[in-house]
Amino acid sequence: MNTRDCKVIIVGGGLVGSLCALFMTKRGFKTELYEYREDPRVTQFARGRSINLALSNRARKALQKVGIEKKILACGVPMKGRFIHNLNNKNKSLEFDPRTKQCTYSVSRNFLNEQLLEEVENHPNVQLHFNHKLINVDLENGHLTFLQMKTGKTIDVSGDLLIGADGAFSTVRRAIQQVPLFNFSQTYIDHGYIEMSIEPDIGKTIEANYIHIWPRKDFMMIALPNLDNSWTVTLFMSLDKFKELDSSTKVLNFFRRFFPDSVKLLGEKQLVEDFILTKPSPLVSIKCSSFHAGGNTLIIGDAAHAMVPFYGQGMNAGFEDCLLLDSLLESYNNNFPLVLRKFTEIRRDDAHAICDLAMYNYREMRDLVTRPSYLIRKKIDDLLFKLLPNTWIPLFNSVVLSEMSYTGCINNRKWQDKVLLHVIIGTVVLMSSIVIFSFYNCQRNND
């Protein structure tokens, strides 16, 4: 089929859906995007979503491919490392990559979404439909039925390729879930989060260009900077603990005890109000396989692999999906059934790997970063990375700042652990041998 005759339907106009639409329309496909919510360029506030995100290497590569990387980065705040707020006031900054000073960028979700939609609309072969809720998926015939929220009417749509970028609670995936042999799991962790904010005039007094972390072992708070000097602060904690803090006094006492330096930044009144009025959002991890059904339906982004947010890779992985899809369409000459099969084949293990890594990183961020063992390992990793930049890439750097596959990142770390273990064992054996040798030598001399 001629590229111009191919119709691609994308469900979901969030970050991944709109970037995917941009890729598809750039390939020359007739592209239709359907989104349940209002156009974010009309209504500014999307409830229950994180306000800013850490944009790192994988997302940058995808944005670069569609030619808007620079434009986006110009409106992001670079973060060169973690700034750790310890309880004993001995704060510590840890750069991600002391060698190259490589950064991730804190970007507003809404801004990014709007920019992507703007870019999409610059192309002639694309239609955007907001306020359209997907209510039925006919996988066999590639038909989708949408409810037009404003008129109450339903419309039927069909396409040669249907892409579900409709998030963690994807309706497209729910249809695929009925197909035999589709493996699926959704796992909620016991922890949830609430977001608070630091106003610009106070925010500008904070050590800029870092992601700030208050690790407290069983819970943690983080802050990401915004362009206007305000900061978005997120508290992650067990849902039980959230329930316990059911009065202003308890909340204030809790903050004074565990995040004393933050009380001034957040403002006593504001933090109590934010805390009491906000219901903590749950955190879910979703794994499935495969990512396609038949030869015409694919899920990408959170629909395919929602993860807990602790590696900041949700959007990055979703954007990498778009990049992979685009390159497969190129390699296999738009042969959709083959492309979808290959997509699942290549992406499945990586998606599961980043879900696991994200789960692991919560422990690292809220607990391990304060431990001497972590700090020593980071020093060793940084040194070896400096000496052998192509051979010894630390885990965080491989996940966030490189293009290594996520499974590759895990295997690479396992290999490093093994090497270090062998070095330690070797050293111990060598030292023991020297001691024993010296001892006998000394005895012989005495004799």
Q: Which two tokens stand for residue 293?
A: 């059904």
CB 56 within 8 A of CB 184: no
Q: Which of residues 284-343 bind its own copies (CB under 8 A)?
A: 284
State the nearest-atom distance from the C-beta of 333 to its own copies, in Å.
27
Residue number, 170 or 226, with CB nearest to its own copies: 170
**Residue from 177, 270, 331, 432 binding its own copies (CB under 8 A):** 177
The contact pattern for its own copies, residues 356-395, with x = CB under 8 A and - = no contact, is ----------------------------------------
Q: Which of residues 105-124 bind its own copies (CB under 8 A)?
A: none
CB 162 within 8 A of CB 146: no
State the nearest-atom distance from the C-beta of 285 to its own copies, in Å.
10
Separation of alpha carbons 55 and 79, rounded Å = 10
State the nearest-atom distance from the C-beta of 344 to its own copies, in Å.
14
Give the angle subtended at the CA of 408 by the CAs of 404 and 410, to the nearest 5°: 120
Q: Which of residues 185-224 bind its own copies (CB under 8 A)?
A: 185-188
**Residue from 47, 141, 153, 180 binding its own copies (CB under 8 A):** 180
Q: Which of residues 134-173 bind its own copies (CB under 8 A)?
A: 169
Separation of alpha carbons 78 and 74, rounded Å = 9
State the nearest-atom distance from the C-beta of 180 to its own copies, in Å.
5
**Residue from 67, 200, 260, 282 binding its own copies (CB under 8 A):** 282
The contact pattern for its own copies, residues 239-268, with x = CB under 8 A and - = no contact, is x-----------------------------
State the nearest-atom distance from the C-beta of 445 to its own copies, in Å.
37
Site membership for its own copies, residue 181 (CB under 8 A): yes
Preceding omega of 373 cis (within 30 degrees of 0): no
Q: Which residues of 84-116 are buried (b: 16+ CB within 10 A; e: fewer)?
A: bbeeeeeeeebbbbbeeebbbbbbbbbbbbbbb
Site membership for its own copies, residue 49 (CB under 8 A): no
Separation of alpha carbons 62 and 68, rounded Å = 9
Q: Which two tokens stand for residue 58?
A: 């994988």
Nearest 5°: phi and psi at 144?
A: -125, 140
* Region of 78-86, 179-187, 216-224, 321-329 interacting with its own copies (CB under 8 A): 179-187
Residue number, 180 or 372, with CB nearest to its own copies: 180
Q: In one letter, which amino acid is 209?
A: N
State the nearest-atom distance from the C-beta of 202 to its own copies, in Å.
33
Separation of alpha carbons 288 and 173, rounded Å = 9
Residue number, 184 or 440, with CB nearest to its own copies: 184
Residue number, 219 or 319, with CB nearest to its own copies: 219
CB 262 within 8 A of CB 233: yes
* Region of 129-137, 142-150, 180-188, 418-426 interacting with its own copies (CB under 8 A): 180-188
* Region of 91-99, 182-190, 348-356, 406-414 interacting with its own copies (CB under 8 A): 182-190
Q: What is the dihedral of CA 24, 26, 31, 36, to 10 degrees?
A: 70
Site membership for its own copies, residue 178 (CB under 8 A): yes
State the nearest-atom distance from the C-beta of 177 to its own copies, in Å.
7
Residue pointed to by tokens 């054996």? 429
**Residue from 41, 95, 160, 182 binding its own copies (CB under 8 A):** 182
State the nearest-atom distance from the C-beta of 38 to its own copies, in Å.
22
State the nearest-atom distance from the C-beta of 274 to its own copies, in Å.
20
* Region of 178-186, 325-333, 374-382, 386-394 interacting with its own copies (CB under 8 A): 178-186
State the nearest-atom distance from the C-beta of 301 to its own copies, in Å.
19
Residue number, 182 or 360, with CB nearest to its own copies: 182
State the nearest-atom distance from the C-beta of 332 to its own copies, in Å.
24
CB 101 within 8 A of CB 95: yes
Residue number, 111 or 182, with CB nearest to its own copies: 182
Site for its own copies (CB under 8 A): how many residues? 16
Beta bridge partners of 31: 8, 126
Residue number, 169 or 415, with CB nearest to its own copies: 169
Chain residues binding its own copies by CB under 8 A are: 169, 174, 177-178, 180-188, 239, 282, 284
